[in-house]
Amino acid sequence: MDKIILVNENDEEIGIEEKLKVHKEGILHRAFSIFIFNDKQQLLIQKRAKTKYHSSGLWSNTCCSHPRANEILINAARRRLVEEMGFDCELKEIYKFIYKTNIDQLIEYEYDHILIGNYNFSPMINNKEVEDWKWINVRSLKRDIKNCPDKYTYWFKVLLNKIKF
């Protein structure tokens, strides 16, 4: 399994460790969350594959993951965007924050970098990572999250409340 970057609360690297161990022990680590919009200002969201080891079958932002050891964050983000959604585009970091929560008997404790990009076509999803996808207006999305919060990942709900789109 991949090794990911451990950080302190200033996002300074302090080591590397196996990803599942990090999530079992709740160690602070670097992560990223990508939000892709089209020219209609719709957000591309994905439904996580049922085979994911946590938050499976839930709707979330376009893509999220962790940079590997010795991998530059923006390169990792673009790599994962291609691996999960089948396309690449320019990405820009707009926000970062730390969050911690228990999910499916694991602990997400992440220093999360938020990146946005623009893309106007249908993705070519990797079915091992993504079960479904759709473009959605953020206002409609927020209304659905309010009515059906259990359909969405924890971090996605947090981010939608923190960031002004």
- The active-site residue out of 84, 108, 110, 131 is 110
64 annotated active-site: yes
> Which residue in 63, 64, 84, 108 is the catalytic one?
64
Q: Is pTM beyond 0.85 here?
A: yes
CATH architecture under which domain 3-162 falls: Alpha-Beta Complex (3.90)
- Specify the pLDDT at position 164: 77
What does the domain layout of the chain look like in residue ranges?
Answer: 3-162
The token pair that represents 78 in the structure block:
């673009």
| 110 carries an active-site annotation | yes
Please determine, for residue 100, whether its predicted confidence score (pLDDT) is greater than 70. yes
Would you say the C-alpha torsion 57, 59, 60, 64 has a positive or negative sign? Answer: positive
Q: Rounded to whole angstroms, how far apart are CA atoms 115 and 64?
A: 10
pLDDT tens-digit map of 38-82: 999 999 999 999 999 889 999 999 999 999 999 999 999 999 999
